[in-house]
Structure 1
Amino acid sequence: MRLVSFIPPAGSTARAGVLLGDAIIDLAAAAALISEEAAAAQWDMLSLLRGDHPDATIAAAADIVQAVINVMGGADPSEAPLGEFNWHEGLTIGDTALVIPATQVRLVAPLPQAVSLREFDALADEHTVMMRRAAGYWVGDRNWPAFRFASHTTILGPDEPIELPMTEPLDCGMALGCVIGRAGRDIMPEDADAYIAGYLLVNAWTIRDPLAASLRPRDRATSLGPWLVTPDELEYYRDDDGRLMLELRLRLNGRELARANTALMRWSFAELIAFASRDTMLYPGEVIVSGVATGGCLLDLHGDDGPWLRAGDEVVIECAELGQLRSPVGLGLELE
Structure 2
Amino acid sequence: MVKIARWNYDGGTREGFVEDDNCFALPGGSTVQHLLQAGLEKTLSIAAETCRTVRPVALGNVQLLAPLLPGTIRDFVAFEEHVEGVRKSIDGVAGVVAEWYEAPTFYFTNPHTVTGTGEVIGIPGGCSELDFETEVAAVVGHVPGSEGRNLSASDAHQHIFGYTILNDWSARDLQRREMKVSLGPCKGKDFANTLGPWIVTADEFEHLHDDQGFLPLAMAVEVNGEAIGQDLLSNMGWPFAELVAYASQDSVVRPGDVLGSGTCGGGCLAELWGRNGAKTPPPLKTGDSVGMTVAGIGSILNTVGERREAVTRVPASSRPGTKDRGSRKVRETVTNH
> Which one of 121, 124, 131 corresponds to residue 171 of structure 1?
131
Contact 2:209 2:216 in 1 (8 A): yes
Q: In structure 1, what is the equivalent of residue 150 of structure 2? A: 186
Instruction: State the alpha-carbon separation in 2 of the partners of residues 195 and 136 from structure 1.
Output: 37
Instruction: State the alpha-carbon separation in 2 of the partners of residues 129 and 270 from structure 1.
Output: 25
Question: Structure 1 residue 286: deviation in Å?
Answer: 0.8
> Which one of 115, 120, 123 corresponds to residue 79 of structure 2?
123
- Aligned positions of 1:262-273 closer than 5 A: 262-273=233-244
Contact 1:298 1:308 in 2 (8 A): yes
Contact 2:24 2:51 in 1 (8 A): no
Q: Does 1:227 align with 2:225?
A: no
Question: Structure 1 residue 260: deviation in Å?
Answer: 1.0
Instruction: State the alpha-carbon separation in 1 of the partners of residues 17 and 61 from structure 2.
Output: 14
Q: In structure 2, what is the equivalent of residue 109 of structure 1? A: 66
Q: In structure 2, what is the equivalent of residue 325 of structure 1? A: 300
Q: TM-score, normalised by structure 2?
A: 0.79
Cα 1:17–1:164 shift into 2, 3 Å = same
- Aligned-residue Cα RMSD (Å) equals 2.7
Instruction: State the alpha-carbon separation in 2 of the partners of residues 214 and 320 from structure 1.
Output: 33
Question: Structure 1 residue 2: deviation in Å?
Answer: 0.8
Q: Report which of the two has the higher share of helix.
A: 2
In structure 1, the residue corresponding to 2:124 is in which secondary structure?
coil
Cα 1:70–1:26 shift into 2, 3 Å = closer
**Unmatched 5+ stretches in structure 1:** 29-39, 52-56, 72-91, 93-97
Instruction: State the alpha-carbon separation in 2 of the partners of residues 267 and 135 from structure 1.
Output: 26
In structure 1, the residue corresponding to 2:250 is in which secondary structure?
coil
Instruction: State the alpha-carbon separation in 2 of the partners of residues 194 and 202 from structure 1.
Output: 21
Aligned pairs, how many? Answer: 291
Question: Structure 1 residue 332: deviation in Å?
Answer: 5.8
Identity between Structure 1 and Structure 2 (%): 31
Q: In structure 1, what is the equivalent of residue 324 of structure 2? A: none
Q: In structure 2, what is the equivalent of residue 141 of structure 1? A: 100
Question: Structure 1 residue 283: deviation in Å?
Answer: 1.0
Q: In structure 2, what is the equivalent of residue 27 of structure 1? A: 26
Query: Deviation digits for residues 39-62 of structure 1, max 9, x if unmatched?
Result: x4x4111232124xxxxx654442
Q: Does 1:62 align with 2:44?
A: yes
Contact 1:50 1:284 in 2 (8 A): yes
**Unmatched 5+ stretches in structure 2:** 313-337
Q: Which has the higher contact order (CA 8 A, sep 6+)?
A: 2
Contact 1:124 1:291 in 2 (8 A): no
In structure 1, the residue corresponding to 2:177 is in which secondary structure?
coil
Q: In structure 1, what is the equivalent of residue 326 of structure 2? A: none
**Letter paired with 1:188:** S
Cα 1:165–1:275 shift into 2, 3 Å = same
In structure 2, the residue corresponding to 1:153 is in which secondary structure?
helix
In structure 1, the residue corresponding to 2:168 is in which secondary structure?
strand
Contact 2:87 2:93 in 1 (8 A): no
Stretch moving more, 19-28 or 137-146: 137-146
Question: Structure 1 residue 136: deviation in Å?
Answer: 7.1
Contact 1:129 1:142 in 2 (8 A): no
Contact 1:27 1:61 in 2 (8 A): no
**Letter paired with 2:36:** L
User: Whose radius of gyration is greater, 1 or 2?
Assistant: 2
Q: TM-score, normalised by structure 1?
A: 0.79
Q: In structure 1, what is the equivalent of residue 316 of structure 2? A: none
